[in-house]
Amino acid sequence: MSEIKIILPDNSVRSFDHEPTTLEVATSIGARLAKDTLGAKINGSVDVVDFRTPLKDGTRLEIVTTKSKEAVDVVRHSAAHLMAQAVQEIWPEVKVTIGPVVDNGFYYDFDSPFNFTEEHFEKIEKKMEEIQKKDLPLVRENWPINQAIETFSKMGERFKVELIRDLATKGETVVGIYHQGPWFDLCRGPHVQSTGQIKAFKLMSVAGAYWKGDQANPMLQRVYATAFQDKKDLEEYLKNIEEAKKRDHRKLGKELGMFTFHHFAPGSPFFTGRGAVVYNELQKYLRELYFKYGYNEVITPQFFDVELFKTSGHLANYKDNMYFTKIDERDFGAKPMNCPSHCLLFDSEKYSYRDLPYRMADFGRLHRNEISGALSGLTRVRTFCQDDGHIFCTKDQLQSEIKGFVEMLNEIYQKLGMNEYKVYLSTRPENRMGTEEDWDNAEGALEAALKSLNIPYEINPGDGAFYGPKLDIMFVDALKRPWQLGTIQCDPNLPLNFNLKYTGEDNVEHTPLMLHRAVLGSLERFIGVYLEHTAGHLPTWLSPTQVCILNVTDRVNDFCDKIQSHLKDNMIRVEFDRRNEKLNFKIREAQLRKVPFMLIVGDKEAEAGTVSIRLRDGTLHNNIDFKDACEMIIKNSQNRELSITIPSTALSGAT
């Protein structure tokens, strides 16, 4: 065999007399690197391959180590095998199926004659620790299909046999088998070098799952678990899980009286008066920014003849997520997105290049037929409203429009205290419309815009919309959880489908480029995410009740009424708790409702024309002139301030 050359990220070259594995390349560089090697990325791909895979001549190699961001997924994939081995060593009658990595962990589906419980979890984890301490090497073998079928058939592993037969129908002739000690499993990898590299793991929960997701197939038991490279990361994750339970927006929404659900309308939230305050304040803020950034707010219908969705491509690509009905013997559909109706609206007028970019915004209600098992509070619903917008522009205007979107997004996110987010460039999916050239141009334009703005980003292959690539904004909340909220999508296809035109400077008709964009995304989903991010401690301007006046005695009620009237005249949402209850009881109730300001009034305060301000964090400021207190609260709300600070002018006479 001629010399095999492997190219490293710094363009240095390692030469071998055979096709080396990544581990061999790492070993040639240094023992420490070899010890830390977990996988590889080759020829620019984002996918991680097993370090045991032979490398072809000219391969560009990036070694994935224990310090790489991809390392945790390799560890979790291997931990799934560790868990399956532990289960079968304890209960040999249990059969195994699949064990993939998922967000925040992994799962394994088992065909078990009994139901797993927390007591079983303890036994499994103990056995996993025993196997981990043995530091068993993970050894890969490639078996011919017939050998694999024969071996797993003898073991009674009918699910594995079915998977192998499926691979055979796709043209596979060999399958990967990973051994760890006496136990082995069908898998393509990648995996760690030995069980000793799986440092920290925890079984989390169990649920039922049909084999291959088909109700006609057997019901299996899906054991969810997680794993990390060290126990410190696991402990932090488990701590965040407990904190997340406290912050669950479904729990907070009920406690704060903001929204509810009913079985007559599954997946469709009811916002109470208190919840509607948050909803409407967000829309009010967005409308002000639409004015600032040059958007035209429009209103479009809810139902359309299905011919519209044939033209837009939704009927071919999104039909299963839509609702349909008949009106006057014609087939109609509820709109799942605003973009087709915005195309109709754009097409209703004549535009020249001087009119572009034309920015259109719409708070119209949308409906999507989510499966019942996917519904979850406000974060996955069937009816919702987006801060939806579409921009019709020329190709030359694309860069500036993306810049304007980023500026608007940063302004909104900073106002809301959402300071950390990541950007992903989602590229063409398998099922898509349009030509490859259109997709090349659209993806290239988005990537060029990101580079020109010096915005760090990652590629999310295959996750674009069916009509075009997109930038997904992943907000990272207070518990370091990512949430996909904002997006901007570059669409060359819908304008072609709808034959949209504008007259260019050359007096010839041209097809505009269409950008789909949202900053918060679904308002329902955003409110759910934001409640969890803030633990329900909303900024004053978003709080359903901004001020609660607490009297110590009925003798001060006239003064309290005066304060309430003054605040109401300035559009402050204020309540006067005049109940004959102890002050501490009233304070506790206001704190549970997370009211930003509590104004406490006793005889001394009423006589002096002052109040004591108690903030929801428990801090107390006494003897503040009531007019100064009101002015401070009014400014805090009007300026949409994120935090609460008591200005020194208000404190000048306070103790």
SS (H, E, C) 223-273: EEEEEECCHHHHHHHHHHHHHHHHHCHHHHHHHCCCEECCCCCCCCCEECH
Residue 373: which of 248, 225, 267, 221 has the closest Cα? 267
Distance of CA 640 to the CA centre of its chain: 26
Per DSSP, what are the bridge partners of residue 333? Answer: 304, 324
Per DSSP, what are the bridge partners of residue 390? Answer: 360, 516
Residue 90: which of 162, 183, 159, 197 has the closest Cα? 183
Q: Is 89 exposed, middle or buried (0-12, 13-18, 19+ CB in 10 A)?
A: middle
- Give the span between the Cα atoms of 209 and 198, in whole angstroms: 26
Positive/negative CA dihedral, 257, 263, 268, 273: negative
Per DSSP, what are the bridge partners of residue 174? Answer: 144
Which H helix or E strand runs over 419? none
Q: Are the CB atoms for 107 and 80 separated by under 8 Å?
A: yes
Strand runs labelled E in 235-394: 259-260, 270-271, 295-298, 303-305, 324-327, 330-334, 358-362, 365-367, 383-393
CA atoms within 13 A on the CB side of 74: 30
Q: Is 353 exposed, middle or buried (0-12, 13-18, 19+ CB in 10 A)?
A: middle
Q: Tokens 């799962």 label which residue?
A: 107
In angstroms, the first-to-last Cα distance of the chain is: 87
What are 618's two structure tokens? 């428990």
Rg of the Cα atoms in the chain: 30
Distance of CA 454 to the CA centre of its chain: 23
Enzyme catalytic residues: 339, 368, 386, 388, 390, 470, 516
Side chain identity, residue 292: K
Strand 295-298 with 358-362, pairing: parallel
Q: Tokens 């479904």 label which residue?
A: 250
SS (H, E, C) 27-95: HHHCHHHHHHEEEEEECCCCCCECCCCCCCCCCEEEEEECCCCCHHHHHHHHHHHHHHHHHHHHCCCCE
What are 205's two structure tokens? 């929960």
For residues 27, 31, 36, 40, the Cα torsion angle rounded to the nearest 10 degrees is -20
* φ, ψ at 311 (rounded to 5°): -65, -40
Q: Tokens 């978003």 label which residue?
A: 542
Q: SS3 of 581, please?
A: coil
Q: Is 587 exposed, middle or buried (0-12, 13-18, 19+ CB in 10 A)?
A: buried
Side chain identity, residue 270: F
Q: SS3 of 125, please?
A: helix
Q: Are the CB atoms for 271 and 259 separated by under 8 Å?
A: yes
- Give the span between the Cα atoms of 568 and 545, in whole angstroms: 12
- Give the span between the Cα atoms of 259 and 275, in whole angstroms: 6
- Supply the DSSP symbol for 305: E
